[in-house]
Structure 1
């Protein structure tokens, strides 16, 4: 409550209470520079004791050591943008709350605990050289500097120019891309976690491994969020313009591929269905990354042909959204490109089976195969389902079967 009264002195200097206290205790200076004075009242002593908390709050709100009072130009928009930027980052909630505490200087660093008289020593528990404030713990400590010097660090060659963490954060916001900021926040969170492990468990993680774990954690978070969004989009698009059933008694084989450049993997997805939309087979195949996206799609087509031969499907329509690959395989002319031999091999296999045909379709009609390809990225070995599929595609299959019913 006394801190709140001090805050009112700054925000409402023309109020009656503020003018009375100013006249009595700090007539020639601002409240931020007021001294305790001689024979202070108990109330003024309490307000003055809370002055540091108030001033820390003003610096957090972006006032640059000067409080914007009524009648002055406001800095609220800059403050609002600062917090808005934090909450819009694509990192998990724990990272956002950690960053908020770091920027607002409420992390339980040894310096903060020392000021509150909880501990007697403010020195950094790792280097034992300097007082451990937020900037030191996350940036300038030699142990933290080793982390930021790693090759994968977005701020590898940055120098320390700021006096507090909030200034450092503002510089990062101005100079780094959104992805670089998100990686940096994940690394900071890991640095703080390692600091706690040193303090409480006597463990110390290698800088390179720390950065690698931070990157993996961020990528896993993005992939999980992307899968959720992709599922919603796929269900929505399929309900509008989805898979079309094959004519007659033949089956339709949809195939697709997905790439994970970070983990250097590809995923192949294959779904075989009859003219009622029932699943005959489903396949998720993870493989090591190949050199070209074109080759990735070739792998998907080749594996779908292998699956059909292994399971004895001889009257089929192969469908995919890789137009470049499908057009070349269906072309009557010889392919003389660098991947010409692969195209020739695909043509040969397709030509040997009289009941096989290959068609191009747009992505919205290839949703299940695409989803299976994304699933394959998280597998260590191939998975195959006969006359059923993974539970994750049940909703997509039901949607597409409903489209068949509506169109007949």
Structure 2
């Protein structure tokens, strides 16, 4: 399965023979724009990581998924590595931006999001569960849970008291019933900045053929978002 032969590959139809890596890298940096060189470097890493995943865990990513996750890695990196503001006013403004907050013990927080590509007719759902120390949850039999997402219309509909007779309204009523049966379940809205980990997971999910569950581990772009959330906790509290 040829990664570099995929439509999204920045090296499609290039010569496949170079006597050593230095000559290959020199050719890449001379012929490609900077953002494409970044993509190639990320794909190099993903190929190495895929080999390790196959050898040690018997898991194998398709070329399309590998390239897409490499591109997503770069997008997340650019989002998370912003320049630090130089003035106190800018720092105050930066701190006012919505970020993920850990739940109070003994609650767990389950962040969720969905991604949809209308052209390719693909959809992915991402779920990230963390505890009060913002660690990924090891147990799935949770009783006290805060569900958090950025689908405001849906969340307001579930938490609201108005009746909705449409087909969507019946689904909202089902969700309301579930919340009533579990008094320690809560549903909260958060803006996209506070839901980045689940959003990254949902984007990856679009390119996975089957459901995948990671415990205390996960794709690098999701873990990067989780690490960023943890870094922001002392600033915001």
TM-score (norm 2): 0.62
Alignment partner, residue 153 of structure 2: 324
Matched, 1:389 2:217: yes
By how many angstroms is 1:225 displaced? 7.1
How many Å separate the matches in 1 of 2:102 and 2:224? Answer: 17
Q: Distance in 2 between matches of 1:375 and 1:224?
A: 7
> How far 1:94 sits from its partner (Å)?
4.6
Task: Tell me the SS of whatever aligns to 1:247.
Answer: coil
Aligned position for 1:277: 134
Offset, 1:329? 0.6
SS at match of 2:210: coil
Aligned residues: 170
C-alpha separation in 1, matches of 2:164 and 2:81: 38
Separation of aligned partners in 2, 1:370 and 1:399 = 14
Give the gaps of 5 or more residues in structure 1.
1-89, 98-216, 282-307
1:248, distance to aligned residue in structure 2 (A): 3.2
Check 1:324–1:221 CA distance in 2 against 1; reply closer, same or farther (3 A cut): same
Match of 1:251 in 2: 108
Give the structure with the larger helix fraction.
Answer: 1
Q: 1:339 matched to which residue of 2? A: 168
- Does the aligned pair in 1 maintain the 2:107–2:145 contact within 8 Å? yes
Q: TM-score, normalised by structure 1?
A: 0.37
Query: 1:150-183, CA deviations, whole angstroms, 9 ceiling, x for partnerless residues?
Result: xxxxxxxxxxxxxxxxxxxxxxxxxxxxxxxxxx
- Runs of 4+ in structure 1 off by over 6 angstroms are 219-222, 237-240
Residues in 1 aligned to 2:159 and 2:126: alpha-carbon distance in whole angstroms: 21
Taking the aligned partners of 1:258 and 1:245, their CA distance within structure 2 comes to 24
User: What is the RMSD of the two structures over their aligned residues, measured on CA atoms?
Assistant: 3.1
Q: Distance in 1 between matches of 2:70 and 2:105?
A: 40
Note if 1:375 corresponds to 2:225. no
In 1, the alpha carbon distance for the partners of 2:114 and 2:121 equals 14
CA distance in 2 between counterparts of 1:313 and 1:389 reads 19
2:77 match: 232
Aligned match for 2:10, one of 92, 99, 104: 92
Residues 1-400 of structure 1: pairs in structure 2 closer than 5 A: 92-94=10-12, 223=68, 226-236=71-81, 241-280=98-137, 311-386=140-215, 388-392=216-220, 393-400=222-229
Q: Which protein, 1 or 2, shows the higher relative CO under an 8 Å CA cutoff with sep ≥ 6?
A: 2
Deviation at 1:395, TM superposition (A): 2.2
- Deviations along 1:316-343, one digit per CA (max 9) or x if unpaired, are 1110000011011111111123311111
Deviation of 1:379 (Å): 1.1
Secondary structure in structure 2 of the residue aligned to 1:344: helix
Q: Distance in 2 between matches of 1:391 and 1:91?
A: 20
Q: What displacement does 1:263 show?
A: 3.4
- Is the radius of gyration larger for structure 1 or structure 2? 1
1:406 maps to 2:214? no
Contact 2:197 2:223 in 1 (8 A): no
Q: Cα gap change, 1:389/1:399 in structure 2, threshold over 3 Å: closer, same or farther?
A: same
Name stretches of at least 5 consecutive residues in structure 2 with no aligned partner.
1-7, 15-62, 83-93
> Is the contact made by 1:269 and 1:376 (CA closer than 8 Å) also made in structure 2?
yes
Q: 1:313 to 1:220 in 2, by over 3 A?
A: closer
Could you say what secondary structure the match of 1:277 adopts?
Answer: coil
Question: Per-residue CA shift, 1:172-204, capped at 9, x if unaligned?
Answer: xxxxxxxxxxxxxxxxxxxxxxxxxxxxxxxxx
